């Protein structure tokens, strides 16, 4: 969690995924973490807060034995995607939607 003047301005939360053994083999992984929530208030972006929060979460995952971390990113979150690219994340899938009216 990141705070400024007593206010929470950002946080990152993750947990471990229960991944079937055959998927772990295909991914060449043994333990998988998932970034569930990650946000920095718009007024506090581009100050290194997000990078610091995500780095700390990745460190926690690694310390707990994870060798792969997953996250989802909305297509419109261009700034976030830039951060994820800079930190070495790779696109592994596309999540799509179609509205049925």
List pLDDT tens digits, range 1-53. 999 999 999 999 999 999 999 999 999 999 999 999 999 999 999 999 999 99
2-86: CATH topology is: Aminopeptidase (3.40.630)
Contact 13, 60 (CB under 8 A): no
Q: Does residue 96 register a pLDDT over 90?
A: no
Residue 22 has a pLDDT of 97
Residue 97 has a pLDDT of 84
Residue 97, SS3 per DSSP: coil
Q: In what order do the strands lie in the sheet with 2-4?
A: 2-4, 7-17, 32-40, 68-71
Q: Where are the domains of the chain?
A: 2-86
Both tokens of 61, joined, read 């995952």
pTM metric for this prediction: 0.88
pLDDT confidence of 75, banded at 50, 70, 90?
A: confident
Contact 1, 8 (CB under 8 A): yes
Give Cβ neighbours of residue 14 (< 8 Å, ≥ 6 apart).
33, 34, 35, 36, 57, 60, 61, 69
Give the span between the Cα atoms of 63 and 57, in whole angstroms.
Answer: 10
Q: Does residue 93 register a pLDDT over 90?
A: no
Structural element, H or E, at residue 48: none
């Amino acid at each position: 969690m990141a705070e400024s003047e007593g206010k929470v301005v950002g946080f990152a939360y993750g947990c471990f995924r229960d991944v079937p053994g055959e998927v772990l083999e295909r991914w060449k992984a043994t333990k998988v973490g998932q970034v569930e929530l990650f946000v920095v208030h718009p007024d506090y972006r581009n100050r290194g807060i997000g990078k610091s929060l995500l780095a700390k979460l990745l460190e926690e995952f690694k310390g707990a034995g994870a060798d792969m971390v997953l996250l989802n990113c909305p297509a419109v979150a261009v700034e976030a995607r830039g951060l994820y690219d800079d930190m070495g994340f790779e696109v592994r899938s596309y999540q799509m939607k179609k509205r049925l009216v």
